[in-house]
């Protein structure tokens, strides 16, 4: 809550933030001083009067979440964290953008420093914050306001509101009535190219009002007006709030205020001297007046009291209700879960997307933190949790999410729910539409967010919808992303183990690539998928590595080759990344040195050379076609007879 009218120390604090940003960018000879200088007043009011965080316990569950979506202004966040007492020293500010420094060019997720997420790609912070607000609303319904009752604050700029993800996310947030979400918009009229009027003449506030948001407008340099606007914004009326703050980029710079020159380059030594004079700054470089430290210290002390009161409430609630304590632990301290495999006999067929739906429901019964949904494809993705309500403004306890045709926002929101804590969220769409959420997936990988993406219709075998919907390059593309697991299970039992792997992972995202068509169950050692690749049929003449629906195909081809006296080992490799992380001895036991290796996958052959070396890669390096799946299999060479012929030719010295 507000603590009264602004004082001179408030103005001094804003000036200090500007000076620290100017000095750090100048020393680094790189960076973005304009935004921190323009938003320093907004930051001062929010952090010293409204934001509830505690550097003594940076990750306590009921803290407010703060997201700097316009992450190029990272020095503002670093300066705020330093002044507030997070473990970020003045030397860290001096080492801005340097090797080994925690003060990277754009904020990288470090919750212990008050950095809730990695930002920089514009709009991602906005979209991810929507997911954080969703998590707060759901957990508040589950546990009550005494244990979950906080806000999500976002700083954003014009670029954030131009990017498509913010429009998708804003539409979703307005529909869901996320009243605890407050976005403070740095409306400075400047982008890198110059005036925003060159490309951006819409009224963002009117657009968001049409989406169900409350909107406010305020002078972004008037502390009293900002304080009043934020106080109004945090009153939850069932609508998220956009506060448009009219600001001056590079505030205080005689030559560069209100110009694109202030955006992404140091002001220059002479201009910094002039700017400090214009701001009335009498201190030195990287200097913080004691009263400014005191202002932030007093606010953080008050926040520590709020945290202590919350801990007392939680202890009393748990003492009065042991079941509540158990539910809390199930959300905030989840344990590994077993994913029961669907009952499918060897030789019987089941689509892995169907198996995934059965596994989701089996796991959901034992894991209340599991929530998720689909981008308007739930009947196809099989992502619904049976018997559970949809998450809507009237039913925030619902565990099923209807993200609408908004893959981009879905990816960001799933990340936000997982980063918030207390929930394990997944999102579903067709594999070909992973393109639409790829930026969010990349950020999940960079942040180590354990998001789960259910990608169905994983090959040209989806058939008649044609090449627009048939993923060819997507598996290879996703595997190229660092810290990302791509799991393509071959059977119902492998699908269950794929979910176990995804749910056990805590340091990055997992993509499940699932079939539309039925695939046969085959004899296998339980738990073997956890090693990424394993032998399903022994043989000594050659190895055929397959994934997903091609494992059954490889087994059938191996049977045909028996008649020729060719002993073909078949390896199922549901997750290349996990297999490559195994020790040398295990990998050699699966792919014996000196034995020729081939691969088969109903997608691009790109990347398989890392497994097969100089061997053979069977795939499809062109777009698909519209026809029944069986017809496509015949034309593209994905029948047992075709595959066996390719293997014979290869072993005979051809290609």
pLDDT digits (tens, 9 = 90+) for 365-395: 999 999 999 999 999 999 999 999 999 999 9
For strands 181-187 and 241-246, give the pairing: parallel
Query: Is residue 2 over pLDDT 60?
Result: no
Q: Sorting pLDDT into bands at 50, 70 and 90, what band is 334?
A: confident
Dist CA 243 CA 215 (whole Å): 6
Tracing tokens 């979703």 back to the chain, one arrives at 172
- Hey, is 269 helix, strand or coil? helix
Residue 303: CB partners within 8 Å, gap ≥ 6?
52, 53, 54
Rounded mean pLDDT of 539-558? 98
pLDDT score for 654: 55
Query: Is residue 655 over pLDDT 50?
Result: no
**What is the distance, to the nearest Å, from the Cα of residue 76 to the centroid of all Cα atoms in its chain?**
23
Q: What are the residue ranges of CATH 3.40.50.970 in the chain? A: 8-306, 349-520
Q: Which of 116, 136, 163, 407 is catalytic?
A: 407
- Hey, is 249 helix, strand or coil? coil
> Which tokens go with 133?
């607000």
| pLDDT more than 70, % of the chain | 99
The number of C-alpha atoms within 13 Å of 540 and in the hemisphere containing its C-beta is 1
**CATH fold label, 349-520:** Rossmann fold (3.40.50)
Q: Cβ(179)–Cβ(238) under 8 Å?
A: yes
Rounded mean pLDDT of 604-613? 97
The domain 533-651 having CATH identifier 3.40.640.10: the answer here is no
Rounded mean pLDDT of 244-268? 98
| pLDDT more than 90, % of the chain | 98
For strands 568-572 and 534-537, give the pairing: antiparallel
Rounded mean pLDDT of 620-633? 97
Query: Is residue 216 over pLDDT 90?
Result: yes
Rounded mean pLDDT of 405-418? 98
pLDDT score for 80: 98
pLDDT score for 190: 96
Dist CA 481 CA 477 (whole Å): 7
Residue 324: CB partners within 8 Å, gap ≥ 6?
143, 317, 318
- Cα-atom radius of gyration of the chain, to the nearest Å? 27
Helix (H) or strand (E) holding 579, with range, is: helix 576-580
State which CATH number among 3.40.50.970, 3.40.190.10, 3.40.50.2300, 1.20.200.10 fits the domain covering 8-306.
Answer: 3.40.50.970
Query: Is residue 32 over pLDDT 60?
Result: yes
Dist CA 298 CA 333 (whole Å): 32
Q: What are the residue ranges of CATH 3.40.50.920 in the chain? A: 533-651
Query: Is residue 281 over pLDDT 70?
Result: yes
This prediction has a pTM of: 0.97
Length of the chain: 655
Rounded mean pLDDT of 140-158? 98
Q: Which residues pair with 570 in a beta bridge?
A: 537, 544
Query: Is residue 419 over pLDDT 50?
Result: yes
- Hey, is 384 helix, strand or coil? coil
C-alpha torsion angle, residues 110, 116, 118, 124 (rounded to 10) = 180
494 in catalytic set: no
Q: Sorting pLDDT into bands at 50, 70 and 90, what band is 1?
A: very low
Rounded mean pLDDT of 557-582? 97
For strands 568-572 and 542-546, give the pairing: parallel
> Which tokens go with 84?
């507030």
Q: Sorting pLDDT into bands at 50, 70 and 90, what band is 6?
A: low
Dist CA 225 CA 244 (whole Å): 12
Rounded mean pLDDT of 17-36? 98
Dist CA 162 CA 281 (whole Å): 35
Task: Catalogue the E-assigned strands of 432-477.
Answer: 452-456
Dist CA 41 CA 222 (whole Å): 7
Of 426, 421, 326, nearest in space to 375 by CA: 426
Which phi and psi angles does 307 have, rounded to 5°? -65, -45
Provide the sign of the torsion angle of the four alpha carbons 544, 546, 550, 556, taken in this order. positive
pLDDT score for 335: 85
DSSP string, 116-164: -S---STTHHHHHHHHHHHHHHHHHHHH-TTT----EEEEEEHHHHHSH
Dist CA 478 CA 441 (whole Å): 9
Rounded mean pLDDT of 421-447? 98
Dist CA 481 CA 442 (whole Å): 7
pLDDT score for 3: 43
Dist CA 159 CA 139 (whole Å): 31
Of 239, 234, 165, nearest in space to 209 by CA: 239
Query: Is residue 290 over pLDDT 80?
Result: yes
- Provide the 10 A C-beta neighbour count for residue 525: 10
Residue bearing the bigger pLDDT, 335 or 580: 580
pLDDT score for 336: 82
Dist CA 504 CA 264 (whole Å): 41
> Which tokens go with 470?
């048939």
């Amino acid at each position: 809550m507000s603590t009264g009218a602004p004082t001179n120390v408030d103005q001094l604090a804003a000036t200090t933030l500007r000076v620290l940003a100017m000095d750090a960018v100048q020393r680094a000879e790189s960076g973005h001083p304009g935004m921190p200088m323009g938003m320093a007043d907004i930051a001062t009011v929010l952090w010293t009067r409204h934001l509830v965080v505690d550097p003594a316990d940076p990750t306590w569950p009921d803290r407010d979440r703060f997201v700097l979506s316009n992450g190029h202004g990272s020095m503002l966040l670093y300066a705020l964290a330093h002044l507030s007492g997070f473990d970020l020293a003045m030397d860290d500010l001096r080492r801005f953008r340097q090797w080994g420094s925690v003060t990277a060019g754009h904020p990288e997720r470090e919750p212990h420093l008050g950095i809730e997420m990695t930002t920089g790609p514009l709009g991602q912070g906005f979209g991810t914050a929507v997911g954080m607000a969703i998590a707060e609303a759901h957990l508040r319904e589950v546990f009550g306001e005494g244990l979950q009752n906080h806000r999500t604050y976002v700083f954003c700029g014009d670029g954030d509101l131009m990017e498509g993800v913010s429009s998708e996310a804003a539409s979703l947030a307005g529909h869901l009535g996320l009243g605890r979400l407050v976005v403070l918009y740095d409306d400075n009229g400047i982008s890198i190219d110059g005036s925003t009027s060159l490309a951006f003449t819409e009224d963002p506030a009117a657009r968001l009002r049409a989406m169900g948001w409350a909107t406010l407008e305020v002078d972004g340099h008037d502390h009293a007006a900002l304080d009043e606007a934020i106080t109004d914004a945090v009153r939850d009326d069932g609508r998220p709030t956009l506060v448009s703050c009219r600001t001056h980029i590079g505030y205080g710079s005689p030559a560069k205020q209100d110009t694109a020159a202030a955006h992404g380059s140091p002001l220059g030594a002479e201009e910094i001297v002039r700017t400090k004079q214009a701001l009335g700054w009498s201190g030195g470089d990287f200097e913080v007046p004691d009263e400014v430290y005191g202002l932030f210290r007093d606010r953080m002390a008050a926040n520590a009291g709020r945290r202590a009161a919350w801990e007392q409430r939680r202890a009393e609630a748990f003492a009065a209700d042991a079941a509540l304590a158990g539910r809390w632990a199930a959300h905030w301290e989840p344990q590994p879960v077993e994913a029961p495999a669907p009952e499918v006999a060897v030789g019987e067929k089941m689509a892995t997307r169907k198996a995934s739906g059965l596994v989701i429901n089996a796991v959901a019964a034992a894991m209340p933190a599991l929530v998720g949904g689909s981008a308007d494809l739930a009947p196809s993705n099989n992502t619904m949790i049976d018997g559970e309500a949809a998450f809507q403004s009237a039913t925030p306890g619902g565990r099923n999410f209807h993200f609408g045709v908004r893959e981009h926002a879905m990816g960001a929101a799933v990340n936000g729910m997982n980063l918030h804590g207390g929930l394990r969220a997944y999102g579903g769409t067709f594999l070909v539409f992973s393109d639409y959420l790829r930026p969010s997936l990349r950020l999940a990988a960079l942040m180590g967010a354990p998001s789960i993406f259910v990608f169905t219709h994983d090959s040209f075998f989806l058939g008649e919808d044609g090449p627009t919907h048939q993923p060819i390059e997507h598996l290879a593309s996703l595997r190229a992303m660092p810290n990302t697991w791509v799991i393509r299970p071959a059977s119902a039992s492998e699908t269950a183990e794929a979910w176990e792997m995804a749910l056990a992972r805590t340091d990055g995202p997992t993509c499940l690539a699932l079939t539309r068509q039925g695939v046969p169950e085959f004899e296998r050692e339980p738990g073997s998928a956890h090693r990424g690749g394993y032998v399903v049929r022994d043989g000594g003449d050659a190895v055929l590595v397959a994934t997903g629906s091609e494992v059954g195909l490889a087994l059938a081809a191996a049977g045909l080759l028996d008649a020729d006296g060719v002993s073909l080992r078949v390896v199922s490799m549901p997750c290349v990344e996990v297999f490559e992380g195994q020790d040398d001895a295990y990998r050699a036991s699966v792919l014996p040195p000196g034995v020729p290796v081939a691969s088969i996958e109903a997608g691009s052959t790109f990347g398989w050379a890392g497994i097969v070396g100089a061997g053979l890669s069977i795939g499809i390096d062109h777009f698909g076609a519209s026809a029944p799946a069986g017809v496509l299999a015949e034309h593209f060479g994905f029948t047992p007879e075709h595959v066996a012929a390719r293997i014979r030719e290869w072993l005979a010295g051809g290609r």
